[in-house]
Amino acid sequence: MKRRQFIYRLGVGSVTAVAGANVLQSCMKHDMSPDGQAYVSVVEPPFSQPLSIAKSVVNPANYPLVARQTLAPVIKDKNTSVLSFTSNSIANPLFRVDKGKQFSAQYTNQTGGKSNIHWHGLIIPAAMDGHPEATIPNGGSFQFTFPVNQRAGTYWYHPHPHGATARQAYMGLAGMFIVQDEEEQQLGLPAGEYELPLILSDKRISADGALQYNPSMEEVMTGFMGETVLVNGVAGPYHEVAPTVYRMRILNASNARIYNLGFGTGSSFTLIGGDGGLLDTPQKVSQVLLSPGERVDLLVDFSQFSQGKAFLRSEPFNEGGQAQGRQAFNLLSFGITKSAGSGFNLPTTLSTLTPLPAATNTRTFTLDMMETMAGHGSMGSMGMHRINQKVYDPARVDEVVKKGDTEVWVFDNSKGDEPHPMHLHGVQFRVIGRTGQRGVQPHERGWKDTVLVAPGEIVKIQMTFADHAGRFVVHCHNLEHEDDGMMLQFEIK
């Protein structure tokens, strides 16, 4: 019996004795594949809401960043209670910071519980990183101040309090953090109205418009998914474009859902960057698989669509779990109605990627799930998901690395049947190998901070640890897995 089948049968067979009939109904109401995978099918709403573009805040100094509850028009003609850094919206501030500048924000927590902010992908001091234990109580404040000294790229920010990360991020607390530098600016990439920052997130929404976050036992295991996909905080968005080249920075801010991005049969686009900025050369593709926490930077030429419209879609896929990938659905509608803008000539070289020095150490991390619930309490803290047979313990340092050392880390999911997007704090890495037929993907050729380790795969990464001493974490960015304990702590000395 596979581990997923074991938990599924345990959940529907004896869950009433653990958590009552409501959880049993939750386990049974969603689609189940033959191997027991829970999957929530996406329902496409009418594409009738204008795409919302977050307000850019350039090189902010002491920006007032308040996390609070507010009402937002997530669904057309309905207000939804969400957590946000912006009043009446979950299109949170988009920070644009020049390399070499100092970033500062005065964070105030009004979420109703402990919280913090993790600056995902940024290489900053440990005290600023947003460690799961470095939380701010409700009503408290914290001054974030740090230098931005890394290459241009699309990064992001979200809460990271252990045990509450999944709920707070799901309720709307996520925003982009774009770093700009001279190398990228010299390329003359599409900008202004021709640059579209897009944040994807899926929600489960009740008939009265309320966001629902109540994961069952099965959904703690698989990750919590919703039937409605939002782009920049709204369901069913549309955007008017010209028949020319647009730049799209796309972030998967979903708790667990994987997207296989494309524009339909016969169309293509150009990958120019990933998590940590530009690739060395452009990569022409028709699809790109994006797991939670990952970002891609791409160019789309809308002159290739002759019907006057196009859709950003998620196409079916095999990697990452059979049930997740069996559905195709549209995410964002484009009307090609504007006059053509100025042309764009794509350079043959985008960036120079500095080679890593030889690694001095190799560590292996086995991604696993325990087949027992004994000794565990609430549904949100069962400890099923583990790394090297260990559940996260804030009092324990699992690995110690030296400042400036280069290492290879191996994520082994060869015996697993769940996808795990693995994220490291405090460092950028390169993907140097993957077992199986997929190999290293085009968007993985550059710098990364999150990598998808699909069922049956072993992925190798290599990185040099920065001169920021302190404690950081490595964890699965399926946020239900993370809150369930799939996280280890490492210390840079």
Which of 167-171, 281-285, 336-340, 392-396 has the weakest average pLDDT?
336-340
Task: Flag whether pLDDT at 432 surpasses 70.
Answer: yes
DSSP E strands, 388-485: 399-401, 406-412, 420-424, 429-434, 447-448, 450-453, 458-464, 470-476
Which pLDDT band, with edges at 50, 70 and 90, does 380 fall under? very low
Number of domains, the chain? 4
Instruction: Please write the tens of the pLDDT for every residue from 123-138.
Output: 999 999 999 999 999 9
406's CB contacts (< 8 A; 6+ apart) are: 356, 357, 358, 359, 360, 462, 463, 464, 465
User: Residue 344: inside a domain, yes or no?
Assistant: no
Task: Flag whether pLDDT at 375 surpasses 60.
Answer: no
Phi, psi of 6 (to 5 degrees): -60, -50
Domain end call among 321, 336, 351: 336
Report which secondary-structure segment, H or E, holds 24.
helix 21-29
CA–chain centroid gap for 231, Å, is: 13
Amino acid type, 436: G
Instruction: Please write the tens of the pLDDT for every residue from 23-44.
Output: 223 333 455 444 444 578 999 9
Report which secondary-structure segment, H or E, holds 414.
none
Q: What angle do CA 404, 409, 414 make, to 5 degrees?
A: 175
User: Residue 348: inside a domain, yes or no?
Assistant: no
Integer Cα distance of 346 and 282 in angstroms? 8
Q: What is the pLDDT of residue 7?
A: 39
Please indicate, yes or no, whether residues 266 and 313 belong to a single structural domain of this protein. yes
Contact (CB, 8 A) for 143 and 109: no
Angle in degrees, 0-180, between the axes of helices 3-19 and 21-29, rounded to the nearest 10: 150
Please indicate, yes or no, whether residues 199 and 315 belong to a single structural domain of this protein. yes
Half-sphere exposure for 378 (CA within 13 Å, toward CB): 8
Domain containing 296: what range?
192-336
Q: 102-110 and 63-75: which strand pairing? A: parallel
Q: What is the pTM of this model?
A: 0.92
User: Residue 351: inside a domain, yes or no?
Assistant: no
Task: Flag whether pLDDT at 209 surpasses 80.
Answer: yes
Q: What is the pLDDT of residue 320?
A: 60
Task: Flag whether pLDDT at 427 surpasses 70.
Answer: yes
Domain end call among 124, 153, 185: 185
Please indicate, yes or no, whether residues 20 and 120 belong to a single structural domain of this protein. no
Q: What is the mean pLDDT of residues 307-336?
A: 87
**What's the longest Cα–Cα distance across the chain?**
65
Tokens of 260: 């296989």
Task: Flag whether pLDDT at 178 surpasses 60.
Answer: yes
Please indicate, yes or no, whether residues 375 and 486 belong to a single structural domain of this protein. yes
User: Residue 202: inside a domain, yes or no?
Assistant: yes
Q: What is the pLDDT of residue 176?
A: 98
Which pLDDT band, with edges at 50, 70 and 90, does 382 fall under? low
Task: Flag whether pLDDT at 338 surpasses 50.
Answer: yes
Q: What is the mean pLDDT of residues 275-289?
A: 97
Integer Cα distance of 162 and 425 in angstroms? 14
Task: Flag whether pLDDT at 322 surpasses 70.
Answer: no
Which pLDDT band, with edges at 50, 70 and 90, does 377 fall under? very low
- Specify burial of residue 197 (Cβ count, 10 A radius: 0-12, 13-18, 19+): buried
User: Residue 353: inside a domain, yes or no?
Assistant: no
Please indicate, yes or no, whether residues 331 and 370 belong to a single structural domain of this protein. no
| Token pair 């779990």 in the structure block, residue | 321
Percent of the chain with pLDDT over 90: 80
429's CB contacts (< 8 A; 6+ apart) are: 409, 447, 448, 449, 451, 461, 462, 463
Instruction: Please write the tens of the pLDDT for every residue from 212-254.
Output: 999 998 899 899 999 999 999 999 999 999 999 999 999 999 9
Domain end call among 155, 185, 215: 185
Tokens of 16: 């009433």
CATH for 238: 2.60.40.420
Please indicate, yes or no, whether residues 95 and 199 belong to a single structural domain of this protein. no
Q: What is the rounded average pLDDT for all residues in the chain?
A: 89
Q: What is the pLDDT of residue 31?
A: 53
Please indicate, yes or no, whether residues 18 and 147 belong to a single structural domain of this protein. no
Integer Cα distance of 47 and 164 in angstroms? 32
Integer Cα distance of 413 and 418 in angstroms? 8
Please indicate, yes or no, whether residues 206 and 325 belong to a single structural domain of this protein. yes
Q: What is the pLDDT of residue 249?
A: 98
User: Residue 367: inside a domain, yes or no?
Assistant: yes
Residues composing the chain: 493
Which pLDDT band, with edges at 50, 70 and 90, does 19 fall under? very low
Which of 8-17, 348-357, 430-439 has the weakest average pLDDT?
8-17
User: Residue 342: inside a domain, yes or no?
Assistant: no
Please indicate, yes or no, whether residues 166 and 208 belong to a single structural domain of this protein. no
User: Residue 248: inside a domain, yes or no?
Assistant: yes
Q: What is the pLDDT of residue 325?
A: 78
Q: What is the pLDDT of residue 91?
A: 87
Please indicate, yes or no, whether residues 11 and 65 belong to a single structural domain of this protein. no
Q: 102-110 and 141-147: which strand pairing? A: antiparallel
Integer Cα distance of 146 and 129 in angstroms? 9
Please indicate, yes or no, whether residues 77 and 18 belong to a single structural domain of this protein. no
Which pLDDT band, with edges at 50, 70 and 90, does 466 fall under? confident
Please indicate, yes or no, whether residues 332 and 386 belong to a single structural domain of this protein. no
Instruction: Please write the tens of the pLDDT for every residue from 196-205.
Output: 999 999 999 9
Q: What is the pLDDT of residue 436?
A: 83
